[in-house]
Every structure is written in C-alpha cells, then in structure tokens.
Amino acid sequence: MRRSLRLAAFAVAVVALAALAAGCGSSKKSSGSTTTSSSGSTSNVQTSYSNGTAAKGGTYTIGWENSFGFTDNFDPTGEYLGNAWGILDNLLVRPLMGYKHAGGAEGNQLIGDLAESVPTPTDNGLTYTYKLRSGIKFGPPVNRAVTSKDVAYAMNRLADPKQGGEYGFYYSVIKGWDAVGAGKAKTVSGITTPNDSTIVFNLTTKTGDFNLRMGMPATAPIPSEVGNCFNGKPGDYGRDIVSTGPYMIQGADKVSLPCASLKPMAGYSGANGQKMILVRNPNYDQSSDQYRKNYPDMFKFLINSNADDIYAKVQAGQYDDETSSPQPKTIRQYVTDPTLKPRLLSNVGDRTWYLTMNLTQAPFDDIHIRKAMNLIIDKEALRKAWGGPLLGSIATHIAPPVMYNNGLSEYDPYSTPGHTGDVAKASAEVKQSKYDPGKTGKCTASACKGVLLIADTRALDNRMVPVIQADAAKIGITFTVRSINGAYTTIQTTNKNVPISERPGWGKDYADPYTFFGELFDSRALIPSGNTNYSLVGITPAINAAKKLGVTGNLNGIPSVNTDIDACQAKLGQDRTTCWENLDKKLTTQVVPWVPYLWANNVIIVGPKVTHWAYDQFSDTTAYSQVAVSQK
Amino acid sequence: MAFYIARRLFWTLIVVAAVIGITFVVFYVLPAGDPALRFAGKNPTPVELELIRHRLGLDQAWYIQFFKFIKTFFIGDQYGWPGLGYTFSGQTSVLQLIVARAPRTLLLIAGSSVIWLVSGVSIGIISAVKRRSVTDRAAMGFALFGISAPVFWLGLMGLYIFWRQLGWSAGTGYVSPTDSIGGFLSHMWLPWVTLAMLYAAFYARMTRNNLLETLGEDYIRTARAKGLSERQVIFKHALRASLTPIVTMFGLDIALLVGGAVITESVFNLQGLGYLALNGALTQDLPTVLGVVLLAAVAVALMNLLVDIVYAFLDPRVRYA
C-alpha cells in the first residue's frame, strides 16, 4: 500500500511538473524571433484602420503602461514626452502652426492651426508674421477669445528657465530670447503684437525651419490670468491647462479664478496619478478646424502596471488603444490570426536606434575601427531582438529617409549580405587600424579588450547585448558590459567617458533633419550633463576645458560639422533637404559616430470597438483627433 | 510591561532614522546618474539643470538634504504631518500619494492574510492530525506547489483562467469598497488568493511541524491519559503552544508586505505602495522611495513590538522587564 502511494505521488508530481512546464513553455518560445510563421506573415500589416462608419460619441479608452512619465507634469511649456505631445496637439492646444494629424509624409506637412496660414518669411528671412484665425476661444475657466498676446505670453514663459521650459533652445534665434534666459529681461524683445490678431517674430539669423518650430505645444497660447498663478512653479500648470483645442481636462468647468481659489482640474491627478480624462471643450469651434474630426465624447487615459494585461484588455475590448510596446508573443498572436491582424497597425516612427561610439575613447578613436563596427554588426539579428521586420527597417545612415521626403532610401555605404555583417570586409577595415599592428584583421591591441559597454536593463537590451558582443568578438573587440537602469543619464554625462552604448535612439521633434543634426553632432551643444552629442563630434581640448566636460582621452583631430550645420540651416526648400542629405553622407562615411541599426516603426494594437484609427506622424502617436469608437 | 513598550518605541525611532539614513546614502553611492537629468528635456542647458537641481533640493549635500527631511518629517508641511516632501516627477505631496495608495495595499494584505492564516493553519492542523495519510501528502504537496510557484505566474495564470476564460473575476484594477462593494470584491478576490497561496503554504508546513512536535510532549500525553477528547487536546492545549511562532511570522509577514507586495500589485494593476516604491526607485524619485521606506520601516518595527506583546499573552512563561 505504502509503495503504491509513493508511486501515485510520483505520478502526480510528474504531471504537475509537466503542467508547470507547459504554462511556462509558451513564454520561453516567444522570446525569440516571432514575426513569421507557416501561417502568418508580416506583410500587409496596416497603417490605419477603418471598420464601419466613424460616428460621434462614445468613450475612447487608452491603457498607459506603468506611469505617465511626463517630463514636466504635462505642463505644455516644459512637456517633452512624445505621448504627451500626441494628446496636447490633437486634443488640447492649438499652436500657430499645426499638422493634418495623419500618417506618412502628409502627416509631416505644416498647416496653419491657430494661424490662418503658413507664412513666408520676409526681411531676408529674418521676420515671420502670423495672422491669427478669428473666433478661437479659450475653454473654461477663462472663456474668452485668444489673442496674439496669449501667444506672446506662452513664448515668454518658454524663454524663462524658471518656468520649466525644456526646448527653449530652439527659439534662441529670436531677438532678445537669451536676455530673458539670462534674467536680464522680462519679455522677449523680438516678439511683437501690433494688434490682437497679429504676432511678429524677428530673428537674429535665417532659420529655414522656424515655421516648424512654431508647431510645438509649448508655443500654443496660454492665458496669463492662469499662467501667472504658477510663476516659478514649473509643471503645476499641467493640472490646470486652459484648452484651445476640441477637448478639455474633465473638471475644467468646475474650477475658477482668481489664483487663490484655483484648484487642480479633477480629470488629471498629476504625473504620479492613475488617470487623465478629457471631455469636449464647449468653446471649441469645429468650423475653424479642417483637420481634427473629434468623434469620441470622452478620452480616458488609464495607467496599468501590467503590460500583458494591457493587451489582454485591448483584445477583450475594455481598452481601445494602448501606449505600451507589444512583446513578440503578442505580435505573433495578431499576425497569425486573420481576425486580429487588421487591428495590428504599424507606422514609420521617424526614429533611429543606434550604437553610439565615443570618438575620444579607444579603440573608437580610430575611424577604421568605427567603420569595421558598421560592417560587422548583424543588424538583422538586432532587429529580430526587437521583434522582427514589423518593428522597423534596417537603418543604414543617420536620419530616416522620411526626413528627406524618402531621399537616401537606398543609401547604404556599409552594405552586407542580408544586413548580417561581413567578417571579411570588417577585417579588411581593421587591418588599416593602428590597433591591429600585425595586420591580422583583428583588433589585437590591449585597448580592444574589456572595452566598457553601457547597456540598459530592459529585456530588449538583454537580447541585444549578446549579439553585439558576439559580433565585435569576430574582429577582436571584447566588452565589459555594465547594465544600468536608466542608462541615458550615464551616457549623457561626459565625464563618464563611455566608449560605447547600445541604448540610444533619437526621434525628430519636428519634420526637419535639423532636429537630428543640430543636437546630436554640433559641438556648440556639448554640455557636461544632459549631453546628447554622445560621440563628442567636434570636441577640442579648448571646448573640453571651457565647458568643464571632464573628458579624458584622445581629443585631438576630432572632426567637426558645425559649419555644415550652419550652412544647411540657412537654406529653404529642396536646397535645404539636399544639404542635409549631404551632411548625413558625410557623417556616415567620414565621421562615423554611430552604428545605426533600426528605423523603428511604431506598432499599436487597437481594440474591437474602434471604428476608425489613424496615425499622427508629427507626434508619432495615435491621431486622437481622428479616432472613433463604436458606442455599442 | 509599560517600560518595556516605551523602551521598544524609543529603539523603533532609532532604527527608522538609521533606515532613512542608509536609503539616503544608497541613493548617492550607487552610480545611477544625475536624477535631475531624468526631469530635464533633451539638451538641457546648465542653467536649466541647476534650476531643476535647486527645485528638487539636489544642489545640497546629501547630509543637508537628510537633516532637512528629518526636520520636515517632525514639523510637517502644508499637507500635514508627517511632512514627507514632494515627488521629483510631479511635485506631488508624497504624503498625499501614500495616503491615496495605502488603502489598496492594506486591503490587499488584510484580505490575503485572513485567507492564508485560516487556510494555512487549518491545512497544517489536518495534516498533523492525519499524519502520513493521503490527506497529509496532498496538503504537503499543496505546500510545495505554493512555495515553488512564482507569484507572478500564479497571478497571470489566475487572470487567464478566472477572468479571460471563466469570467469569474473582474480582472485587474482596483475599485474602492466605498464606490462598489461588489466591484471591490470581484477585483480583489483573485489577488487575495494569489498572494495568500505562498504564505498559506509556509503556514501549513509550519503549523504541521510545530503541532507534531507539541503533540509529542509529555503534557499532551497526560491530557489524553486524563480522558480529554482529541479535539480538546488539540485545540485547547496543543495548538496554543504551536501558534507562538506562527504569531511571530504573521506579524512580520504583514509588516513586510506593507512596502513589499510589488509583484502582486503590478500583475493585478493595484498600484499600491509597493508599486509606488518600485516606480520611484526606477525613476530615481528619491522622496517617493523615502516615504514608502519610512512607512515600511515603521510598520516592521511596530508589528515586531505588537507580536512580542501578543507573545507574552500566549505564552505565560514569557515576561518582559
């Protein structure tokens, strides 16, 4: 009896273990490349979605992963998070310049939003005059017409660092801007408002993309009677945004001025909160807005700490949209199920992901080593780590082709079969390097061993690092990997002297290549903390000393592209585009700061109740002003 | 006893201050980069970074920040006492944030602790009484499963089966009992059971082992010899002696869960204190981490004291000077 009991117990244990393994097995299988199968294909994945007639009404619910992550508590003056821009620009604010809230090249075309039209600069490109549309009003609790002075107020707020602005540097071309930043003036002298419907900007230098700069949310009008309640309190206005758009924060009609009695609007509980609810702005005039459709009556953005649950709820119809990143197993599920596939949507994200190499640190201070890295890295394997072809196309130069209206789409100076790397080509490049004195084709010098590589701690990084390590080892470079949560703050600190990192990605702020080159490669933008010119292009010993960058290494002979940037910045139209294309080629082949590997797509899954969905190319998010949801 | 309690409370303050001090030091010793950078945009100017550091109080030495924190804690701030400062990310009152999130964690602990205590002790008793039977084997098999199965896996499997497939659970999220008691229960029963399974398993084993040991004591043999029923022997004599380590464990487990039910809170989207602390750590939001650490340290210290007091009542041999 006892023996048979033991056997029975053993059998139960085996069955239990098998069940446990089955439960865990699916997750193990999903960790590899999953975008294709015998019955599924990533081709024909849609960029937009339509299922029935888009009608007014309903609530559009979005699952937001972990926390809002706002950079300035949703205050438009300092808010720099892409997802926040999608909400602000589609639903809450109307800057002078705007977009059609569509995907692709059409979505990056500038239109007049608060302004009647896109102006042509005068005075040899130094003056921009905007005429405001009539009939645009602020929502509650202000309830009055928007004037040019409200735009000027927003710009002055952006110029003052104490108000939390995070991209004021784009507007330093306006006369008098820097004086406000330095505390020497209260208002920007180069901004004038001759009447309530006209605002004029006088610049110090020709800036061909100035109209694009006036399309960012911080430039949208702010009523001073509310803005002044938050002087010196960056971020606090985010809970009391006065809308000029089709929606407002729920509860905006329940708060009142003056400042002493102004309470936060109930619909948004702060950056650490769990929800944001937007309802229709009663003062919004649809006839003034050709491109926003504004179908739902309400938008609910709900925080959810469980990414799997977000997708489960999307599939179950409890969420209509999400801001998370689908795991390979979720993508595989949608790609292989014909009933789900139409709701898997993929759009070009105007973003490059890359390995950054520090031009001052061995062995990457040798251009041949940097070129060899471009030739040896298996970019296809890195893309598989991301989730496969659905997640983007292989990057072959600095800025995505869409930034050049699809120019340079075939440009690949480091072409290898299937983008998997080429040992022979890479070795040939290494042989020309000073770190291969024996001309073996491998980096044999001690500087090539144990090179510090900074990685982040996400699952994606854990998949990518082994690929990079294995590939670099083929040309004799070995890494000491240091995984840091939030690796950006480390690689942005120049005195850390990080030789290489796999973490960075860069997306446009607006549809002009300047937003890539100006911040990433201009030595005048080098700063000790928060630096984004990770490769230290253009650094000299004098710059290092003057700006106290703390860089140690080889600072001599680092190429600079400042002159090229300035030349391109002054141009307009196709001349400008061609100029940026040439700079891209120069950087890719003559400076070689990066190994670009992915132009990422933005993959979004929508729920079964959605009847209409489009992508907003400007903010790289859902075009909330275009979506519609069934009310059944 | 009163003097003992007073002395313990004094040492509680010392321990909590030490915990806060260590947390401060850890934040500055670990090479996680400048927290101000996380709240600046792309390409912040040095002026902007300095303003952010000043606003967040990061421009002062860590020990000055520490003493300021201690001072605000005792004096309070505009949101009341204790003063726990403001989050870096949203300049939200940490005290308000903790007060808002605490009910989720406390209700999670309350519900699951009742389940694990009742089920764990019951299973342990049955297992001890029916030693080496099929019931005992099954109970210990459950204990092995409960201890071995990861909480996140249990949670995800539970959601898949009871929410997606059977519709017996309302899924993830939290509904306050003041809004809807039905909604509250339908959301909470699954996280209660999930969290309780691990602890029930430990308690079942602990109860079984202790009870078996106690049932072998001479006084139990005497009780049986005097003609007491087996029910009286177990529940009136043996169980009381067996429960003293259970009480200790129970108090500490509850205290640790105040800041530590991170996995359950994440899987079930409860966004309680554990999740708040985790998010704060990941985003280098020092005030948030400090607030939850402080609360957890106080909870552990006070529960320790409470457990010792209850111990004295349970075991007459224990007296405190």
pLDDT at A20: 42
Question: Can you tell me the ipTM of this complex?
Answer: 0.81
CA distance B7 to chain A (A): 38
* A chain contacts of residue B97, beta-carbon cutoff 8 Å: 272
Contact A489 B32 (CB under 8 A): yes
Residue ranges of chain B with per-residue pLDDT less than 50? none
* B chain contacts of residue A318, beta-carbon cutoff 8 Å: 171
Q: Residue B93 and residue B101: Cα distance in Å, rounded?
A: 12
Query: Which of B30, B42, B86, B136 to substitute to test the interface with A, most A CBs within 10 Å?
Result: B42
| CA-derived radius of gyration, chain B | 24
Burial class (CB in 10 A: 0-12, 13-18, 19+), A538: buried
pLDDT at A623: 97
CA distance B205 to chain A (A): 18
Contact B269 A12 (CB under 8 A): no
Considering only CB atoms, B37 lies closest to which of A13, A273, A529, namely A529
Considering only CB atoms, A485 lies closest to which of B49, B276, B282, namely B282
- Could you tell me the two tokens for A404? 């050049």
A1 vs B128, residue with greater confidence: B128
In this structure, chain A runs to a length of 632
Phi-psi region of A419 (alpha: psi -120 to 50; beta: other; left: phi over 0): left
Residue A28, pLDDT above cutoff 60 = no
Per-residue model confidence as pLDDT tens digits over A321-367: 999 888 888 999 999 999 999 999 999 989 999 999 999 999 999 99
Q: Name the nearest CA neighbour of B108 among B159, B179, B172.
A: B172
- B60 Cβ under 8 Å from any chain A Cβ: no
Considering only CB atoms, A306 lies closest to which of B34, B38, B269, namely B269
Nearest 5°: phi and psi at A348? Answer: -60, 135
Residue of chain B with shortest Cα separation from A519: B43
Report DSSP state, residue A603: E
Sheet holding A321-322, edge to edge: A247-249, A275-280, A298-304, A59-65, A321-322
Considering only CB atoms, B90 lies closest to which of A181, A272, A303, namely A272
Residue of chain A with shortest Cα separation from B38: A489
pLDDT at B319: 62
Residue A26, pLDDT above cutoff 90 = no
Residue of chain B with shortest Cα separation from A237: B90
Contact B269 A309 (CB under 8 A): yes
CA distance B293 to chain A (A): 18
Longest CA pairwise span in chain B (Å)? 86
Contact B48 A166 (CB under 8 A): yes
Contact criterion met (CB below 8 Å) for A276 and A68: yes
pLDDT at B321: 52
Per-residue model confidence as pLDDT tens digits over A165-205: 889 999 999 999 999 988 899 999 999 999 999 999 999 99
* B chain contacts of residue A69, beta-carbon cutoff 8 Å: 283
Name, in order, each residue with C-beta under 8 angstroms of B158's C-beta and a sequence gap of 6 or more: B169, B190, B193, B194
- B31 Cβ under 8 Å from any chain A Cβ: yes
Across B15-54, b (16+ Cβ under 10 Å) vs e yields ebeebbeebbeebeeeebbbbbbbbbbbbbbeebbbbbbe
Considering only CB atoms, B46 lies closest to which of A13, A24, A527, namely A527
* B chain contacts of residue A303, beta-carbon cutoff 8 Å: 271
- B33 Cβ under 8 Å from any chain A Cβ: yes
- Could you tell me the two tokens for A384? 């598989």
Nearest 5°: phi and psi at A158? Answer: -70, -30
3-state class (DSSP) for residue A158 = helix
- Helix axis angle for B134-148 and B94-129, nearest 10°, is 160
Query: Which of B27, B38, B39, B134 to substitute to test the interface with A, most A CBs within 10 Å?
Result: B39
* B chain contacts of residue A305, beta-carbon cutoff 8 Å: 265-267, 269-271, 275
* DSSP H helix total and E strand total for chain A: 18, 22
Q: What is the DSSP string of A135-200?
A: S-B--TTT-SB--HHHHHHHHHHHH-GGGT-SSGGGGTTBTTHHHHHTTS-SS-TTEEEEETTEEE
Burial class (CB in 10 A: 0-12, 13-18, 19+), A14: exposed
Per-residue model confidence as pLDDT tens digits over B100-154: 999 999 999 999 999 999 999 999 988 888 888 888 888 888 888 888 899 999 9
In this structure, chain B runs to a length of 321
Residue of chain A with shortest Cα separation from B152: A306
pLDDT at A14: 43
Residue of chain A with shortest Cα separation from B93: A272
Nearest 5°: phi and psi at A626? Answer: -115, -15
Considering only CB atoms, B279 lies closest to which of A67, A78, A490, namely A67
Per-residue model confidence as pLDDT tens digits over A222-271: 999 999 999 988 889 999 999 999 999 999 999 999 999 999 999 998 88
CA distance A627 to chain B (A): 25
Q: Residue A594 and residue A356: Cα distance in Å, rounded?
A: 5
pLDDT at A16: 42
* B chain contacts of residue A170, beta-carbon cutoff 8 Å: none
Q: Residue B233 and residue B131: Cα distance in Å, rounded?
A: 16
Considering only CB atoms, B43 lies closest to which of A69, A528, A530, namely A530
Q: For residue B243, what is the enclosing H or E element?
A: helix B239-260
* B chain contacts of residue A528, beta-carbon cutoff 8 Å: 46
Q: Residue B284 and residue B28: Cα distance in Å, rounded?
A: 11
- Could you tell me the two tokens for A190? 């180069």
A18 vs A314, residue with greater confidence: A314
Contact B37 A235 (CB under 8 A): no
A443 vs A5, residue with greater confidence: A443
Query: Which of A162, A272, A274, A548 to substitute to test the interface with B, most B CBs within 10 Å?
Result: A272
Contact criterion met (CB below 8 Å) for A107 and A298: no
Contact A527 B43 (CB under 8 A): yes
Range scoring the smallest mean pLDDT among A33-37, A90-94, B53-57: A33-37
Contact A486 B265 (CB under 8 A): no
The residue type at B11:
W
CA distance B42 to chain A (A): 7
Query: Which of A306, A308, A458, A547 to substitute to test the interface with B, most B CBs within 10 Å?
Result: A306
Nearest 5°: phi and psi at A235? Answer: 95, -25
Report DSSP state, residue A33: -
- B47 Cβ under 8 Å from any chain A Cβ: yes
Partner A, chain B 257-316, Cβ-Cβ below 8 Å: 265-271, 275-276, 279, 282-284, 288
* B chain contacts of residue A167, beta-carbon cutoff 8 Å: 41-43
Residue A406, pLDDT above cutoff 90 = no
pLDDT at A1: 37
Q: What pTM was estimated for this model as a whole?
A: 0.86
- Could you tell me the two tokens for A155? 């710009």
Top mean-pLDDT range of A457-466, A582-591, B110-119, B170-179: A582-591
Considering only CB atoms, B90 lies closest to which of A78, A235, A492, namely A235
Contact A306 B275 (CB under 8 A): no
Report DSSP state, residue A203: B
Considering only CB atoms, B38 lies closest to which of A272, A489, A493, namely A489
Partner A, chain B 98-157, Cβ-Cβ below 8 Å: 134, 137, 141, 145, 149, 153, 156-157
Residue A149, pLDDT above cutoff 50 = yes
